[in-house]
Structure 1
Amino acid sequence: MPPRREDPEIARLVSEQILAALPNIVSQVAAGLNANQANNQGTTANRDCTYKGFRACNPKEFHGTEGAVGLLTWIEGMESVLHISKCAEGRKVEFAACLLQGRALTWWNTQIQTRGREATNGLTWEEFKKLLKEEYCPRSEIQKLEAELWNHEMKESDVDSYTARFHELAKLVPHLVSPEENRIDRYVWGLAPEIRGNVTSANPKTLQDAVNLATKLTNNAIRSGSFANDKVKGKRRMEEPVRRNYSERGGKAQKMIRNFGVQSQTGEKGKGTYPKCGKCNYHHSGRCIICFRCNKGGHFAKDCKIGGSRTCHECGSPNHFRITCPKLN
């Protein structure tokens, strides 16, 4: 069969009809896509903003007895829960207020009686936080935290403890370290003098950069012994075993000397390292001991066993004293 020839006029009419219908087709397809997207968003929003989903994140309760630090910590944790649960702005206060217990719940019920339930639940999150801080954060407590942050310094080479406490205080009183430049400056100011200059010279752009640099410099300074206190501690740690061993050796030597002395003193009577005395025939040092009773050496008259009470110390006669001895008179 010969090929069929298309009529140019028919092809032209078909093309015009397609072009005329194309905008309507595109509009219908776009409308369908938008409707599906809106339905999906509405379903997701309804699912994420329920109270059940909020409680599934395990938010903590607040009783009103935790003090200023406890309240600030609770607010910080609550904001994390509200973010994770994707809670709508208009439901934040209503959901968070359900976690108030004890004294805090009594205070909140008073607010409801005064303002009305709609007005209290309609408060913004910032207004709700302000009311809580006015009630449970006395100015004196905030001033203590501000003073601690202002005077917070690194102790010796313990950069980890310094950094951890700095983060805690910065969260409790953020107005002292805002904006980010002030936060970095305050952190660097409290570092140990051994590393502060190097961190300042590096001009860190973020707080994390400053923390990483301070940790690295501290570790290097510890290894090189740049920290004066660590030098002293290291020296003491090195000297303690030496001193202990020396004391042990000295104690043993002294014990040997003492034992040797005891043995020398308890040896055979009259013998030793001293020369023999010509008067008493005993080995001793210093003046010779002569008994005035028996005129012999080696003992005193009170220890003499020869003669009675009337013994003459001059001639040894028991019949008279030395003062009446015929040899002297």
Structure 2
Amino acid sequence: MPPRREDPEIARLVSEQILAALPNIVSQVAVGLNANQANNQGTTANRDCTYKGFRACNPKEFHGTEGAVGLLAWIEGMESVLHIRICAEGSKVEFAACLLQGRALTWWNTQIQTRGREATNRLTWEEFKKLLKEEYCLRSEIQKLEAELWNHKMKGSDVESYTARFHKLAKLVPHLVSSEENRIDRYVWGLAPEIWGNVTSANPKTLQEAVNLATKLTNNAIRSGSFANDKVKGKRRMEVSVRKNFSERGGKAQKVIKNFGAQTQTAEKDKGAYPRCDKCNNHHGGRCIICLKSNKEGHFAKDCRNGRRRTCHECGSPDHFRNAYPRLNRGPVTNPARPVNQGNQGGQARGRAF
């Protein structure tokens, strides 16, 4: 069967009709796609912006006893949760107020009684934060944070601690560094003198750029030994360690005598730790030992022999000691400490111990 031939005129008419209807078809398809996308976004927003989804992020509670720093940190964490969960503006205050506990909850209930629940829930997030700051941020605490940020400086080569504290203070008192330019100027101002000039001349455009440049220059300065403060501190730490060890050794070699207020040496094994003294010829540290009786060096008052009269323990005579006492040796001798009986001129005392 021979193939069927199409009429060229009919084909032309069909093409013209299709081209005429094509714009309408395209517009209808686009409207349908936009509608589906809007429905999907609405479903996602409704799903995420629920109290259950909000609590699933485990936001922290606020009790009103954390002080200004605690409140500012709580607000910062709360804003992060509200942003992640895509909470609607009308739900932010209501959700956040559910986390108030203790003293803070009592304060919020007072606000509800004064303003009414509907008016309170209609507060914007900025108004809610302002009320919290007026109640729990004492002006004195805010002034301390402002002064700390204003005078914050880098200590030695510790650029990491300086940067971390700067970020923390900038979040606690953001009104001092509201613009990016102010944050950069304040950050660069507190850098160490060894790197401050190079960072300033580089003219960083963002705070992160300034931080990266300060960290790089600090590491280079540490390797080249440009931080003089660290050298002095290291030298001082070494000197303190040497002094501490010397004092510990010296404390073992001498002790304070309570009654006389003098110092005495320990055993002979510890004498080698000190040189021989030119005055008393003894090994000791510090001043010489002085006797409080004879005012002479080298011995204590309890060992002083200067001016002491040693006598016999048997008869009390200063002419001899006990080991030379005649009566103990059975020798005839007259006791000079006791006179001979006048009634017995030729007699002598019988040998017995007195």
TM-score of the two chains, using structure 2 as the length reference: 0.66
Instruction: Provide closer, same or farther for how the CA distance between residues 18 and 127 of structure 1 changes in structure 2, counting only shifts above 3 A.
Output: same
Distance, in Å, in 1 between the alignment partners of 2:124 and 2:169 is: 25
1:100 is the counterpart of 2:94:
no
SS at match of 1:156: coil
Q: Which residue of 2 aligns with 1:277?
A: none
* Deviation readout 1:273-306 (Å, 9 max, x if unpaired): xxxxxxxxxxxxxxxxxxxxxxxxxxxxx9999x
Cα deviation code 1:3-51 (max 9, x no counterpart):
4222223223322332343333223322322221122111101111011
Match of 1:140 in 2: 140
Conserved 8 A contact 1:188-1:196? yes
Inter-partner Cα distance in structure 2 for 1:6 and 1:112: 82
Q: Percent identity at matched positions?
A: 87
**Residue matched to 1:160:** 160
SS in 1 for 2:59: coil
**Partners in 1 of 2:319 and 2:45 — Cα distance?**
115
Q: 1:23 to 1:73 in 2, by over 3 A?
A: same
Q: Does 1:150 align with 2:167?
A: no
Partner of 1:255: 272
**C-alpha distance in 2 between matches for 1:65 and 1:257:** 60
Say what the alpha-carbon RMSD is for the aligned residues: 3.1
* Residues paired across the two proteins, number: 263
The structure carrying a bigger helix percent of its residues is 1
Mapped to 2, the partners of 1:143 and 1:258 lie a distance apart of 60
Distance in 2 (CA, whole Å) between partners of 1:258 and 1:303 is: 42
Cα distance, 1:238 vs. partner? 6.2
Query: Which 10-residue stretch deviates more, 128-137 or 158-167?
Result: 158-167
Structure 2: distance between partners of 1:32 and 1:257: 100
| CA–CA distance in structure 2, aligned partners of residues 138 and 60 of structure 1 | 22
Cα distance in structure 1, aligned partners of 2:199 and 2:62: 40
Query: Structure 1 residues 258 and 110 mapped into 2: Cα distance closer, same or farther (>3 Å)?
Result: closer
The residue identity in structure 2 corresponding to 1:64 is G
1:189-215 Cα distance to aligned partner (Å, 9 max, x none): 111222211211121111122222222
Q: Deviations over 1:148-175 (max 9, x none)?
A: 1111112222222211111111101011
Structure 1 residue aligned with 2:210: 210
Matches within 5 A, 1:65-104: 65-104=65-104
Q: Note closer, same or farther for the CA distance 1:141–1:258 as it changes in structure 2 (3 Å cut).
A: closer
Question: CA 1:120 to 1:241, structure 2 compared with 1: closer, same or farther past 3 Å?
Answer: closer
CA distance in 2, matches of 1:154, 1:38: 52
- Three-state SS of the structure 2 residue aligned to 1:4 is coil
Q: How far does residue 257 in structure 1 lie from its aligned partner after superposition?
A: 8.6
Deviation at 1:71, TM superposition (A): 0.7
**TM-score with structure 1 setting the length:** 0.71
